[in-house]
Amino acid sequence: MSETTGQLWGGRFTEKPDETFAEFNNSLRLDKRLFAADVRASIAHANGLAGAGVLTADEAAAITSGLAQMLALGDADDSIFDGSDAEDVHSFIEGRLIAAIGDTGRKLHTGRSRNDQVATAFRLWLRDEIDRLDELIRLAQASLVNAAERHAEAVLPGYTHLQRAQPVMWAHWCLAYFEMLKRDRERLADARKRVNILPLGSGALAGTGFPFDREAVARELGFDGISANSLDAVSDRDFAVEFASVCSLIMVHLSRLAEDLIIYCSTEFGFVSLSDAVSSGSSLMPQKKNPDALELLRGKSGRVFGNNMALLATLKGLPLAYNKDMQEDKEGVFDTVDTVSISLRAAAIVLENLTVNEVRTREAATKGYLNATELADYLVKKGVPFRTAHETVGRAVLFAIGQGKELHELGVETLREFSPEIGEDVADALNLEATLAAKSTIGGTSPDRVRAALAAAKKYLEN
Ligand code: ARG
Protein backbone atom coordinates (compact mmCIF):
# COMPACT_ATOMS: atom_id res chain seq x y z
CA MET A 1 0.00 0.00 0.00
CA SER A 2 1.20 3.47 -0.75
CA GLU A 3 1.33 5.43 2.53
CA THR A 4 0.71 8.78 0.90
CA THR A 5 -2.25 7.92 -1.29
CA GLY A 6 -3.77 5.17 0.79
CA GLN A 7 -3.93 3.13 -2.46
CA LEU A 8 -4.81 -0.40 -1.37
CA TRP A 9 -4.30 -2.66 -4.36
CA GLY A 10 -1.04 -1.68 -6.09
CA GLY A 11 0.20 -5.20 -6.98
CA ARG A 12 -2.34 -6.20 -9.57
CA PHE A 13 -2.37 -2.91 -11.46
CA THR A 14 0.07 -1.41 -13.92
CA GLU A 15 -1.77 1.78 -14.73
CA LYS A 16 -2.81 4.65 -12.48
CA PRO A 17 -6.51 5.29 -12.00
CA ASP A 18 -8.08 7.82 -14.30
CA GLU A 19 -8.53 11.12 -12.50
CA THR A 20 -12.25 11.34 -13.17
CA PHE A 21 -12.72 7.78 -11.99
CA ALA A 22 -10.69 8.49 -8.86
CA GLU A 23 -12.92 11.44 -8.09
CA PHE A 24 -16.03 9.36 -8.82
CA ASN A 25 -14.83 6.52 -6.64
CA ASN A 26 -13.68 8.66 -3.75
CA SER A 27 -15.87 8.82 -0.67
CA LEU A 28 -13.52 10.33 1.91
CA ARG A 29 -15.25 13.71 2.03
CA LEU A 30 -18.39 11.91 3.20
CA ASP A 31 -17.28 8.83 5.07
CA LYS A 32 -14.72 10.73 7.14
CA ARG A 33 -17.66 10.93 9.53
CA LEU A 34 -16.96 7.29 10.30
CA PHE A 35 -13.39 8.11 11.31
CA ALA A 36 -13.73 7.63 15.07
CA ALA A 37 -15.89 4.52 14.70
CA ASP A 38 -13.46 2.97 12.21
CA VAL A 39 -10.44 3.68 14.40
CA ARG A 40 -12.18 2.18 17.41
CA ALA A 41 -13.12 -0.88 15.39
CA SER A 42 -9.55 -1.12 14.09
CA ILE A 43 -8.20 -1.11 17.63
CA ALA A 44 -10.56 -3.95 18.52
CA HIS A 45 -9.53 -5.76 15.33
CA ALA A 46 -5.86 -5.46 16.31
CA ASN A 47 -6.68 -6.90 19.72
CA GLY A 48 -8.55 -9.71 17.98
CA LEU A 49 -5.51 -10.41 15.81
CA ALA A 50 -3.32 -10.52 18.91
CA GLY A 51 -5.75 -13.01 20.46
CA ALA A 52 -5.53 -15.08 17.28
CA GLY A 53 -1.72 -15.09 17.49
CA VAL A 54 -1.36 -13.08 14.26
CA LEU A 55 0.17 -10.12 16.06
CA THR A 56 2.64 -10.27 18.94
CA ALA A 57 1.73 -8.29 22.04
CA ASP A 58 4.29 -5.64 21.04
CA GLU A 59 2.93 -5.35 17.52
CA ALA A 60 -0.62 -5.06 18.80
CA ALA A 61 0.49 -2.40 21.28
CA ALA A 62 2.25 -0.41 18.53
CA ILE A 63 -0.85 -0.56 16.33
CA THR A 64 -3.37 0.24 19.04
CA SER A 65 -1.37 3.12 20.45
CA GLY A 66 -0.78 4.47 16.94
CA LEU A 67 -4.51 4.29 16.31
CA ALA A 68 -5.35 5.85 19.68
CA GLN A 69 -3.07 8.79 18.92
CA MET A 70 -4.70 9.21 15.53
CA LEU A 71 -8.11 9.14 17.17
CA ALA A 72 -7.17 11.90 19.62
CA LEU A 73 -5.80 13.98 16.77
CA GLY A 74 -8.78 13.45 14.48
CA ASP A 75 -11.30 14.10 17.22
CA ALA A 76 -9.69 17.45 17.94
CA ASP A 77 -9.13 18.58 14.38
CA ASP A 78 -11.01 17.75 11.20
CA SER A 79 -8.18 19.18 9.11
CA ILE A 80 -6.26 15.90 9.29
CA PHE A 81 -8.22 14.88 6.18
CA ASP A 82 -7.27 17.99 4.22
CA GLY A 83 -5.29 17.27 1.09
CA SER A 84 -5.49 13.50 1.49
CA ASP A 85 -6.17 11.57 -1.69
CA ALA A 86 -7.11 8.39 0.17
CA GLU A 87 -10.07 6.69 -1.47
CA ASP A 88 -12.10 6.41 1.68
CA VAL A 89 -11.80 6.76 5.43
CA HIS A 90 -10.64 3.16 5.81
CA SER A 91 -7.69 3.54 3.48
CA PHE A 92 -6.97 6.93 5.03
CA ILE A 93 -6.66 5.41 8.51
CA GLU A 94 -4.56 2.47 7.39
CA GLY A 95 -2.26 4.67 5.29
CA ARG A 96 -1.78 7.09 8.13
CA LEU A 97 -1.06 4.32 10.60
CA ILE A 98 1.63 2.87 8.34
CA ALA A 99 3.13 6.32 7.88
CA ALA A 100 3.20 6.76 11.66
CA ILE A 101 4.45 3.37 12.90
CA GLY A 102 6.02 1.77 9.85
CA ASP A 103 5.78 -1.81 8.65
CA THR A 104 3.93 -3.16 11.69
CA GLY A 105 0.98 -1.10 10.51
CA ARG A 106 0.90 -3.21 7.35
CA LYS A 107 -0.30 -6.14 9.46
CA LEU A 108 -3.52 -4.49 10.64
CA HIS A 109 -5.62 -5.47 7.65
CA THR A 110 -4.99 -9.22 8.17
CA GLY A 111 -8.20 -11.23 8.00
CA ARG A 112 -10.23 -8.12 7.30
CA SER A 113 -11.76 -6.58 4.22
CA ARG A 114 -13.12 -3.11 3.80
CA ASN A 115 -16.41 -4.90 3.28
CA ASP A 116 -16.70 -6.12 6.86
CA GLN A 117 -14.81 -3.06 8.03
CA VAL A 118 -17.23 -0.51 6.57
CA ALA A 119 -20.24 -2.48 7.80
CA THR A 120 -18.72 -2.50 11.29
CA ALA A 121 -17.85 1.19 11.36
CA PHE A 122 -21.24 2.18 9.94
CA ARG A 123 -23.08 0.17 12.60
CA LEU A 124 -20.90 1.45 15.42
CA TRP A 125 -21.38 5.03 14.31
CA LEU A 126 -25.13 4.60 13.83
CA ARG A 127 -25.58 2.99 17.23
CA ASP A 128 -24.13 6.07 18.91
CA GLU A 129 -26.21 8.39 16.75
CA ILE A 130 -29.34 6.45 17.69
CA ASP A 131 -28.54 7.07 21.34
CA ARG A 132 -28.12 10.77 20.66
CA LEU A 133 -31.38 10.90 18.71
CA ASP A 134 -33.21 9.10 21.48
CA GLU A 135 -32.15 11.84 23.88
CA LEU A 136 -33.30 14.54 21.44
CA ILE A 137 -36.70 12.88 21.16
CA ARG A 138 -36.90 12.76 24.93
CA LEU A 139 -36.19 16.49 25.07
CA ALA A 140 -38.91 17.18 22.49
CA GLN A 141 -41.30 15.12 24.61
CA ALA A 142 -40.31 17.16 27.66
CA SER A 143 -41.12 20.33 25.70
CA LEU A 144 -44.58 18.95 24.90
CA VAL A 145 -45.14 18.26 28.58
CA ASN A 146 -44.00 21.78 29.45
CA ALA A 147 -46.32 23.28 26.86
CA ALA A 148 -49.16 21.21 28.30
CA GLU A 149 -48.40 22.32 31.85
CA ARG A 150 -48.04 26.00 30.98
CA HIS A 151 -51.65 25.88 29.75
CA ALA A 152 -53.02 23.09 31.91
CA GLU A 153 -56.59 24.48 31.89
CA ALA A 154 -56.70 25.45 28.22
CA VAL A 155 -59.41 23.98 26.03
CA LEU A 156 -59.15 23.52 22.28
CA PRO A 157 -61.71 22.70 19.64
CA GLY A 158 -60.82 19.24 18.38
CA TYR A 159 -61.13 18.67 14.63
CA THR A 160 -61.85 15.89 12.21
CA HIS A 161 -61.65 16.74 8.50
CA LEU A 162 -60.46 20.11 9.85
CA GLN A 163 -64.11 20.73 10.87
CA ARG A 164 -64.88 21.49 14.50
CA ALA A 165 -65.78 18.20 16.13
CA GLN A 166 -65.56 18.00 19.93
CA PRO A 167 -63.69 20.01 22.53
CA VAL A 168 -60.45 18.61 23.92
CA MET A 169 -57.94 19.82 26.46
CA TRP A 170 -54.88 21.58 25.01
CA ALA A 171 -52.79 19.21 27.10
CA HIS A 172 -54.52 16.30 25.38
CA TRP A 173 -53.30 17.65 22.04
CA CYS A 174 -49.76 17.94 23.42
CA LEU A 175 -49.88 14.41 24.80
CA ALA A 176 -51.08 13.01 21.47
CA TYR A 177 -47.74 14.06 19.98
CA PHE A 178 -45.97 12.83 23.10
CA GLU A 179 -47.39 9.36 22.38
CA MET A 180 -46.22 9.44 18.77
CA LEU A 181 -42.71 10.31 19.90
CA LYS A 182 -42.86 7.58 22.51
CA ARG A 183 -43.55 5.03 19.80
CA ASP A 184 -40.71 6.52 17.77
CA ARG A 185 -38.34 5.92 20.66
CA GLU A 186 -39.55 2.34 20.94
CA ARG A 187 -39.02 1.81 17.23
CA LEU A 188 -35.57 3.34 17.45
CA ALA A 189 -34.68 1.07 20.38
CA ASP A 190 -35.92 -1.91 18.42
CA ALA A 191 -33.97 -0.95 15.30
CA ARG A 192 -30.90 -0.47 17.51
CA LYS A 193 -30.98 -4.17 18.39
CA ARG A 194 -30.36 -5.08 14.76
CA VAL A 195 -27.85 -2.26 14.26
CA ASN A 196 -25.75 -3.41 17.18
CA ILE A 197 -24.44 -6.63 15.64
CA LEU A 198 -20.79 -7.11 14.71
CA PRO A 199 -19.95 -8.04 11.08
CA LEU A 200 -16.16 -7.95 11.59
CA GLY A 201 -14.61 -11.37 11.07
CA SER A 202 -16.68 -11.91 7.91
CA GLY A 203 -13.75 -10.89 5.71
CA ALA A 204 -14.60 -9.88 2.17
CA LEU A 205 -17.52 -12.31 2.01
CA ALA A 206 -16.46 -15.79 3.15
CA GLY A 207 -15.17 -15.36 6.69
CA THR A 208 -11.56 -15.36 7.78
CA GLY A 209 -8.96 -18.13 8.02
CA PHE A 210 -7.48 -16.79 11.25
CA PRO A 211 -8.78 -17.93 14.66
CA PHE A 212 -10.30 -14.58 15.39
CA ASP A 213 -12.50 -14.45 18.51
CA ARG A 214 -15.41 -12.48 17.12
CA GLU A 215 -17.33 -12.62 20.39
CA ALA A 216 -14.45 -10.98 22.23
CA VAL A 217 -14.20 -8.24 19.61
CA ALA A 218 -17.96 -7.71 19.84
CA ARG A 219 -17.71 -7.33 23.61
CA GLU A 220 -14.87 -4.86 23.31
CA LEU A 221 -16.92 -2.65 20.98
CA GLY A 222 -20.15 -2.98 22.93
CA PHE A 223 -21.98 -4.96 20.26
CA ASP A 224 -24.83 -7.15 21.51
CA GLY A 225 -23.94 -10.04 19.23
CA ILE A 226 -22.18 -11.16 16.05
CA SER A 227 -23.55 -11.76 12.58
CA ALA A 228 -24.28 -15.39 11.73
CA ASN A 229 -23.48 -15.49 8.00
CA SER A 230 -20.53 -13.78 6.37
CA LEU A 231 -22.23 -13.28 2.98
CA ASP A 232 -25.16 -11.62 4.67
CA ALA A 233 -23.00 -9.64 7.07
CA VAL A 234 -21.10 -7.72 4.38
CA SER A 235 -24.12 -7.02 2.21
CA ASP A 236 -26.82 -6.38 4.83
CA ARG A 237 -27.97 -2.78 5.05
CA ASP A 238 -31.39 -3.59 6.48
CA PHE A 239 -30.32 -1.87 9.66
CA ALA A 240 -29.80 1.38 7.77
CA VAL A 241 -33.15 1.06 5.98
CA GLU A 242 -34.91 0.40 9.27
CA PHE A 243 -33.25 3.41 10.79
CA ALA A 244 -34.17 5.60 7.80
CA SER A 245 -37.73 4.42 8.04
CA VAL A 246 -38.00 5.06 11.78
CA CYS A 247 -36.66 8.53 11.03
CA SER A 248 -39.28 8.96 8.32
CA LEU A 249 -41.98 8.36 10.90
CA ILE A 250 -40.38 10.78 13.33
CA MET A 251 -40.55 13.38 10.56
CA VAL A 252 -44.16 12.49 9.77
CA HIS A 253 -44.97 13.24 13.39
CA LEU A 254 -43.00 16.47 13.53
CA SER A 255 -44.51 17.52 10.23
CA ARG A 256 -48.05 16.94 11.44
CA LEU A 257 -47.31 18.80 14.64
CA ALA A 258 -45.94 21.64 12.54
CA GLU A 259 -49.01 21.66 10.31
CA ASP A 260 -51.36 21.84 13.30
CA LEU A 261 -49.44 24.75 14.73
CA ILE A 262 -49.17 26.56 11.39
CA ILE A 263 -52.95 26.45 11.21
CA TYR A 264 -53.40 27.40 14.86
CA CYS A 265 -51.14 30.43 14.60
CA SER A 266 -52.85 31.85 11.52
CA THR A 267 -54.88 35.03 12.06
CA GLU A 268 -58.01 33.06 11.14
CA PHE A 269 -57.50 30.65 14.04
CA GLY A 270 -55.38 32.73 16.40
CA PHE A 271 -55.13 29.84 18.87
CA VAL A 272 -51.40 30.00 19.51
CA SER A 273 -48.70 32.63 19.24
CA LEU A 274 -45.18 31.68 18.31
CA SER A 275 -42.27 33.50 19.80
CA ASP A 276 -40.36 35.96 17.62
CA ALA A 277 -37.35 33.76 18.23
CA VAL A 278 -38.69 31.08 15.89
CA SER A 279 -40.46 33.25 13.32
CA SER A 280 -39.30 35.39 10.44
CA GLY A 281 -40.55 38.60 8.94
CA SER A 282 -41.19 39.43 5.32
CA SER A 283 -38.72 41.45 3.28
CA LEU A 284 -41.66 43.26 1.73
CA MET A 285 -44.70 43.14 4.00
CA PRO A 286 -43.95 44.83 7.31
CA GLN A 287 -46.83 43.20 9.21
CA LYS A 288 -45.78 39.58 8.55
CA LYS A 289 -44.62 37.11 11.16
CA ASN A 290 -44.15 33.80 9.43
CA PRO A 291 -43.90 30.38 11.11
CA ASP A 292 -40.70 29.46 9.24
CA ALA A 293 -39.47 27.02 11.84
CA LEU A 294 -42.67 25.01 11.50
CA GLU A 295 -42.69 25.18 7.72
CA LEU A 296 -39.13 23.87 7.68
CA LEU A 297 -40.14 20.97 9.93
CA ARG A 298 -42.85 20.15 7.42
CA GLY A 299 -40.56 20.72 4.44
CA LYS A 300 -37.53 18.83 5.66
CA SER A 301 -39.58 15.70 6.20
CA GLY A 302 -39.64 15.22 2.41
CA ARG A 303 -35.89 14.82 2.20
CA VAL A 304 -35.83 12.28 5.00
CA PHE A 305 -38.46 10.18 3.18
CA GLY A 306 -36.38 10.54 0.02
CA ASN A 307 -33.27 9.24 1.78
CA ASN A 308 -35.27 6.24 2.91
CA MET A 309 -36.47 5.51 -0.64
CA ALA A 310 -33.02 6.07 -2.12
CA LEU A 311 -31.55 3.44 0.14
CA LEU A 312 -34.18 0.89 -0.82
CA ALA A 313 -33.63 1.62 -4.49
CA THR A 314 -29.87 1.26 -4.11
CA LEU A 315 -30.20 -2.16 -2.53
CA LYS A 316 -32.95 -3.75 -4.53
CA GLY A 317 -31.05 -5.24 -7.43
CA LEU A 318 -27.78 -6.14 -5.78
CA PRO A 319 -26.42 -9.66 -6.05
CA LEU A 320 -24.61 -11.07 -3.03
CA ALA A 321 -22.33 -9.98 -1.53
CA TYR A 322 -20.71 -6.52 -1.38
CA ASN A 323 -21.08 -4.25 -4.41
CA LYS A 324 -19.73 -0.75 -4.73
CA ASP A 325 -23.28 0.54 -5.07
CA MET A 326 -23.37 0.17 -1.31
CA GLN A 327 -20.97 3.04 -0.85
CA GLU A 328 -24.03 5.15 -1.66
CA ASP A 329 -25.67 3.99 1.58
CA LYS A 330 -24.07 6.55 3.82
CA GLU A 331 -24.78 10.00 2.41
CA GLY A 332 -28.52 9.72 2.88
CA VAL A 333 -28.21 8.24 6.35
CA PHE A 334 -25.83 11.02 7.40
CA ASP A 335 -28.25 13.60 6.04
CA THR A 336 -31.13 11.88 7.82
CA VAL A 337 -29.29 11.98 11.14
CA ASP A 338 -28.48 15.67 10.69
CA THR A 339 -31.96 16.61 9.52
CA VAL A 340 -33.85 14.71 12.19
CA SER A 341 -31.52 16.01 14.91
CA ILE A 342 -31.96 19.67 14.04
CA SER A 343 -35.68 19.13 13.46
CA LEU A 344 -36.17 17.66 16.92
CA ARG A 345 -34.23 20.52 18.46
CA ALA A 346 -36.20 23.09 16.49
CA ALA A 347 -39.52 21.49 17.44
CA ALA A 348 -38.53 21.60 21.11
CA ILE A 349 -37.68 25.30 20.89
CA VAL A 350 -40.96 26.15 19.17
CA LEU A 351 -42.90 24.28 21.86
CA GLU A 352 -40.97 25.86 24.71
CA ASN A 353 -41.81 29.30 23.42
CA LEU A 354 -45.39 29.17 22.22
CA THR A 355 -48.37 30.56 24.08
CA VAL A 356 -51.97 29.47 23.80
CA ASN A 357 -54.55 32.21 23.50
CA GLU A 358 -56.78 30.49 26.05
CA VAL A 359 -59.68 32.93 25.79
CA ARG A 360 -59.90 32.48 22.09
CA THR A 361 -59.55 28.70 22.10
CA ARG A 362 -62.23 28.39 24.79
CA GLU A 363 -64.56 30.58 22.78
CA ALA A 364 -63.87 28.51 19.66
CA ALA A 365 -64.59 25.33 21.60
CA THR A 366 -68.09 26.58 22.43
CA LYS A 367 -69.03 27.66 18.91
CA GLY A 368 -69.80 25.37 16.00
CA TYR A 369 -71.97 22.75 17.73
CA LEU A 370 -69.11 20.87 19.36
CA ASN A 371 -71.62 19.74 21.98
CA ALA A 372 -74.04 18.11 19.50
CA THR A 373 -72.73 14.63 20.27
CA GLU A 374 -73.19 15.49 23.92
CA LEU A 375 -76.90 16.15 23.32
CA ALA A 376 -77.24 12.83 21.51
CA ASP A 377 -75.50 11.06 24.41
CA TYR A 378 -77.87 12.87 26.79
CA LEU A 379 -80.86 11.43 24.90
CA VAL A 380 -79.29 7.97 24.94
CA LYS A 381 -79.03 8.21 28.73
CA LYS A 382 -82.79 8.98 28.72
CA GLY A 383 -83.39 5.74 26.82
CA VAL A 384 -83.47 6.96 23.22
CA PRO A 385 -81.64 4.66 20.76
CA PHE A 386 -78.46 6.38 19.55
CA ARG A 387 -79.44 6.35 15.87
CA THR A 388 -82.72 8.12 16.73
CA ALA A 389 -80.92 10.55 19.02
CA HIS A 390 -78.41 11.33 16.25
CA GLU A 391 -81.23 12.12 13.85
CA THR A 392 -83.07 14.27 16.40
CA VAL A 393 -79.99 16.30 17.27
CA GLY A 394 -79.19 16.69 13.57
CA ARG A 395 -82.56 18.37 13.12
CA ALA A 396 -81.97 20.54 16.17
CA VAL A 397 -78.61 21.63 14.77
CA LEU A 398 -80.16 22.50 11.42
CA PHE A 399 -82.77 24.56 13.22
CA ALA A 400 -80.14 26.27 15.38
CA ILE A 401 -78.06 27.16 12.30
CA GLY A 402 -81.16 28.84 10.87
CA GLN A 403 -81.56 30.82 14.09
CA GLY A 404 -77.88 31.75 14.17
CA LYS A 405 -77.64 30.19 17.62
CA GLU A 406 -75.75 27.43 19.38
CA LEU A 407 -77.64 24.43 20.80
CA HIS A 408 -77.18 25.64 24.36
CA GLU A 409 -78.60 29.01 23.37
CA LEU A 410 -81.93 27.58 22.14
CA GLY A 411 -83.44 27.08 25.59
CA VAL A 412 -85.07 23.99 27.07
CA GLU A 413 -88.53 24.68 25.68
CA THR A 414 -87.32 24.92 22.11
CA LEU A 415 -85.08 21.86 22.48
CA ARG A 416 -87.98 19.88 23.94
CA GLU A 417 -89.85 20.35 20.67
CA PHE A 418 -87.30 18.04 19.09
CA SER A 419 -87.61 15.39 21.78
CA PRO A 420 -89.91 15.12 24.78
CA GLU A 421 -87.10 13.35 26.66
CA ILE A 422 -85.25 16.63 27.01
CA GLY A 423 -85.52 18.06 30.51
CA GLU A 424 -84.21 20.95 32.61
CA ASP A 425 -80.95 19.07 33.20
CA VAL A 426 -80.00 19.46 29.52
CA ALA A 427 -78.29 22.79 30.15
CA ASP A 428 -75.84 21.11 32.52
CA ALA A 429 -75.12 18.39 30.00
CA LEU A 430 -74.39 20.85 27.22
CA ASN A 431 -71.91 23.13 28.93
CA LEU A 432 -68.27 22.90 27.98
CA GLU A 433 -67.00 21.60 31.31
CA ALA A 434 -69.58 18.79 31.33
CA THR A 435 -68.75 17.88 27.75
CA LEU A 436 -65.10 17.55 28.64
CA ALA A 437 -65.65 15.81 31.97
CA ALA A 438 -67.84 13.20 30.29
CA LYS A 439 -64.92 11.90 28.21
CA SER A 440 -63.54 9.96 31.11
CA THR A 441 -62.62 6.62 29.57
CA ILE A 442 -58.93 5.77 29.68
CA GLY A 443 -57.31 7.79 26.92
CA GLY A 444 -60.15 10.32 26.88
CA THR A 445 -59.88 14.08 27.24
CA SER A 446 -61.62 14.62 30.59
CA PRO A 447 -59.51 16.97 32.72
CA ASP A 448 -58.99 14.23 35.31
CA ARG A 449 -57.76 11.76 32.73
CA VAL A 450 -55.51 14.35 31.13
CA ARG A 451 -54.04 15.29 34.51
CA ALA A 452 -53.26 11.63 35.14
CA ALA A 453 -51.82 11.21 31.64
CA LEU A 454 -49.63 14.24 32.18
CA ALA A 455 -48.36 12.83 35.46
CA ALA A 456 -47.64 9.50 33.74
CA ALA A 457 -45.80 11.33 30.96
CA LYS A 458 -43.62 13.13 33.47
CA LYS A 459 -42.84 9.90 35.22
CA TYR A 460 -41.91 8.26 31.92
CA LEU A 461 -39.51 11.12 31.19
CA GLU A 462 -37.68 10.54 34.46
CA ASN A 463 -36.54 7.11 33.30
N1 ARG B 1 -15.77 2.80 0.86
C2 ARG B 1 -16.50 1.61 0.69
C3 ARG B 1 -17.93 1.77 1.16
O4 ARG B 1 -18.25 2.74 1.75
C5 ARG B 1 -15.90 0.43 1.35
C6 ARG B 1 -14.93 -0.14 0.45
C7 ARG B 1 -15.25 -1.47 -0.02
N8 ARG B 1 -14.77 -1.42 -1.36
C9 ARG B 1 -14.51 -2.49 -2.07
N10 ARG B 1 -14.04 -2.27 -3.25
N11 ARG B 1 -14.70 -3.69 -1.66
O12 ARG B 1 -18.76 0.92 0.89
- Report the alpha-carbon distance of residue 460 to residue 457 in Å, rounded: 5
The ligand 1 atom at the shortest distance from the C-alpha of residue 87 is: 1
- Domains in the chain, start-ordered, CATH in brackets? 19-110 (1.10.275.10), 115-357 (1.20.200.10), 364-462 (1.10.40.30)
The answer, yes or no, to whether any atom of ligand 1 lies below 6 A from the CB of 115, is yes
- Note the pLDDT tens digit of each residue in 241-287: 999 999 999 999 999 999 999 999 999 999 999 988 888 888 888 88
Please say if 282 is a catalytic residue. Answer: yes
Please say if 151 is a catalytic residue. Answer: no
If you average pLDDT over residues 106-112, what whole number do you get?
Answer: 97
Mean pLDDT check: name the lowest of 285-294, 333-342, 443-452: 285-294
The answer, yes or no, to whether any atom of ligand 1 lies below 6 A from the CB of 439, is no
Give, as one character, the DSSP assignment of residue 83: T
Smallest CA separation from ligand 1 atom 3, residue: 327
- Note the pLDDT tens digit of each residue in 369-403: 999 999 999 999 999 999 999 999 999 999 999 99
Find the Cα–Cα–Cα–Cα dihedral 163, 164, 165, 169, rounded to 10°: 130
State how far the alpha carbon of 380 is from the alpha carbons of 231, 376, 398, in Å: 65, 6, 20
Q: Chain-wide mean pLDDT for the chain?
A: 95
The answer, yes or no, to whether any atom of ligand 1 lies below 6 A from the CB of 94, is no
Mean pLDDT check: name the lowest of 4-18, 188-202, 210-224, 419-433: 4-18
- What pLDDT was estimated at residue 278? 82
C-alpha Rg value of the chain to the nearest Å: 30
Q: Which of 2, 280, 282, 440 is catalytic?
A: 282
If you average pLDDT over residues 216-241, what whole number do you get?
Answer: 98
Strand 155-160 relative to strand 163-169: parallel, antiparallel, unpaired? antiparallel
The pLDDT-based confidence of 301 (bands split at 50, 70, 90) is very high
Ligand 1 midpoint to CA 326 (Å): 8
Phi, psi of 225 (to 5 degrees): -170, 180
| CA angle at 178 for the pair 175 and 182, rounded to the nearest 5° | 140
Pocket test for ligand 1, best of 34, 318, 324, 326 (most atoms within 8 A of CB): 324
Given a contact cutoff of 8 angstroms between Cβ atoms, the answer to whether 47 and 217 are in contact is yes
